[in-house]
C-alpha cells in the first residue's frame, strides 16, 4: 500500500507542476506509460498506466481478487496479446498536442484506444486529464482489466482510495474496425507522408523534396533546422509587440532577382508563427512596418497589399485559409538556387500537415506541394 500511495502522489503531482521555473523542467521530464500484460492461460489481460521520470515505471496495483496478481507483473512493453480462448487485444496510446507556452501547455491529456477481437471498445479514452482539468481533481486511470466477458476500470483521485467499476463486454455494440484490421483485398497502408500536387511534374518535384530535406520533414515540423534552411539576417531595427520582432534582409528569389524580405516571427501564446512580406529590394524596413502595423496582423491577409509587395501568411485562400496568420509557420529554404518556404500550422490537427510555397518573380506566390502526415489510428 505504501508503494501505491507513493505512485499516486507522483501521478497527481505531475499535473500542477507545469508552470515556469525549475519545477516545469522537472515535470517536462515525466513520461506517460501504458503497458499490456496478459495471463493467457487464465484468459485475463490488464492495461496499466503510469507517469514516471524513470525508464522502468512502477505501475499501480489492482485488488488481488480482481486481477489475481497480474498488476504485480514486471513490464512487458507489449501492445498486443492473444488469450487461450482466442481473444485478441490491442492497445495504442497518445497525447493531445503540447505547447511550450500557456498554463500547463506542456501537460496535455493522455488517451488510449483498445481493440478486442478487432472491435474498438475504447477510442481516444482519456486516462490522464491535462493540467486544465486537474483543478477539478479528476480520477486517473490505474488499469483496465479484461476478464470473463467483462471490463473493469480502476481509477484513483488524489486523496481518495482506488475505485473499480465493472461492466459487461458486449462486442456487438461496436463493429469490426476495418481501418485497424483491413481485409486482404484492401489497399496497402499509406506512406507516413503523402504528397498532393497538381500535375506529374509537381508531383515528382514534391516527392523529390521529401528526399532532399534532411534529417527529414518530421524533424522540420518540430522546429528543428534542416539541410535546406537559410538564415535571415538579425534585425537591424525592431517593432515589438508581445515580444515579437521583425527581421529584414535583401535576398535572392532566384539568381539575379532580389527582393527585400521581411519576417515577423514568434513562439508566444499570442503569436506562434511566421509572416513574410516580399518587396522591391530598395524598399526600407520601416516602409513595410508602416504598411503592416502589427496590432492588425489578423487583418493583413484581407487587405490589399501595397504596390509590388507580396504577403505570405496563413489566412489566405492558397495557404491555410481557416488559420490565423499568427498560427502558421514559414521556414525560408533554398532548392537549386531558388527560394521556397516550408509552411505548417501550429495546430497539428489542421490539414494539410505542411505545404511548400514558392514566391513568384512578378509578385504573389503559389503553393506547389501539400503534405499530409498519416496519423496513428485511434
165 three-state secondary structure: strand
**Residue 233 pLDDT exceeds 90:** no
Mean pLDDT of 136-142: 89
**Residue 6 pLDDT exceeds 50:** no
Residue 7 region by backbone torsions, left for phi larger than 0, else alpha for psi between -120 and 50, else beta: alpha
pLDDT at 58: 87
Mean pLDDT of 11-17: 49
Q: Which of 135, 136, 166 is nearest to 150 (CA)?
A: 166
112 three-state secondary structure: strand
pLDDT digits (tens, 9 = 90+) for 42-91: 999 999 999 877 667 889 999 999 999 999 988 778 899 999 999 999 99
pLDDT band at 134 (very low <50, low <70, confident <90, very high): low
Question: How far apart are the C-alpha atoms of 27 and 16, rounded to whole Å?
Answer: 9
pLDDT digits (tens, 9 = 90+) for 266-284: 988 899 999 999 999 999 9
List phi, psi (to 5°) of 47: -95, 125
Q: Which of 139, 141, 74, 132 is nearest to 114 (CA)?
A: 141
pLDDT at 250: 94
pLDDT digits (tens, 9 = 90+) for 304-354: 889 999 999 999 999 999 999 999 999 999 999 999 999 999 999 899 999
Cell digits of residue 208: 523529390
DSSP string, 42-94: TTEEEEEEEEESSSSPPPPP--HHHHTTGGGSPP---SEEE-TTS-EEEEEEE
Give the number of residues written for the chain: 378
pLDDT at 168: 96
pLDDT at 300: 96
**β-pair type (31-39, 272-280):** unpaired
Question: How far apart are the C-alpha atoms of 59 and 62, rounded to whole Å?
Answer: 9
Amino acid at each position: 500500500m505504501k508503494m501505491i500511495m507513493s505512485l499516486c502522489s507522483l501521478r497527481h503531482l505531475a499535473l500542477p507542476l507545469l508552470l515556469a521555473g525549475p519545477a516545469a523542467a522537472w515535470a517536462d521530464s515525466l513520461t506517460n506509460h501504458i503497458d499490456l500484460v496478459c495471463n493467457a492461460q487464465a484468459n485475463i489481460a490488464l492495461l496499466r498506466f503510469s507517469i514516471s521520470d524513470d525508464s522502468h515505471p512502477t505501475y499501480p496495483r489492482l485488488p488481488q481478487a480482481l486481477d489475481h496478481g497480474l498488476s504485480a507483473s514486471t513490464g512487458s512493453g507489449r501492445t498486443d496479446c492473444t488469450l487461450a480462448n482466442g481473444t485478441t487485444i490491442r492497445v495504442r496510446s497518445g497525447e493531445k498536442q503540447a505547447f511550450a507556452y500557456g498554463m500547463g501547455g506542456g501537460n496535455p491529456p493522455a488517451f488510449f484506444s483498445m481493440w478486442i477481437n478487432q472491435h474498438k471498445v475504447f477510442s481516444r479514452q482519456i486516462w490522464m486529464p491535462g493540467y486544465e482539468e486537474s483543478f477539478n481533481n479528476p480520477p486517473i486511470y490505474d488499469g483496465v482489466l479484461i476478464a470473463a466477458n467483462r471490463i473493469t476500470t480502476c481509477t484513483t483521485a488524489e486523496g481518495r482510495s482506488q475505485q473499480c467499476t465493472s461492466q459487461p463486454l458486449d462486442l456487438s455494440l461496436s463493429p469490426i474496425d476495418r481501418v485497424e484490421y483491413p481485409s486482404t483485398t484492401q489497399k496497402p497502408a499509406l506512406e507516413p507522408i503523402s504528397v498532393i500536387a497538381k500535375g506529374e511534374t509537381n508531383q515528382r518535384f514534391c516527392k523529390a523534396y521529401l528526399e532532399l530535406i534532411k534529417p527529414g520533414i518530421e524533424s522540420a515540423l518540430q522546429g528543428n533546422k534542416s539541410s535546406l534552411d537559410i538564415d535571415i539576417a538579425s534585425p537591424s531595427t525592431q517593432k515589438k509587440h508581445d515580444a515579437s520582432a521583425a527581421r529584414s534582409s535583401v535576398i535572392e528569389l532566384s539568381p539575379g532577382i532580389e527582393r527585400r524580405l521581411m519576417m515577423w516571427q514568434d513562439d508566444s501564446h499570442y503569436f506562434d508563427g511566421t509572416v513574410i512580406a516580399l518587396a522591391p529590394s530598395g524598399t526600407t524596413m520601416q516602409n513595410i512596418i508602416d504598411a503592416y502595423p502589427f496590432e492588425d496582423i489578423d487583418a493583413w491577409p484581407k487587405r490589399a497589399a501595397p504596390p509590388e509587395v507580396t504577403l505570405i501568411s496563413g489566412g489566405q485562400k492558397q495557404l491555410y485559409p481557416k488559420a490565423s496568420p499568427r498560427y502558421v509557420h514559414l521556414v525560408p529554404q533554398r532548392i537549386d538556387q531558388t527560394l521556397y518556404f516550408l509552411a505548417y500550422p501550429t495546430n497539428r490537427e489542421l490539414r494539410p500537415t505542411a505545404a511548400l510555397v514558392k514566391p513568384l518573380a512578378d509578385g504573389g506566390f503559389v503553393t506547389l506541394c501539400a503534405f499530409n502526415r498519416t496519423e496513428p489510428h485511434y
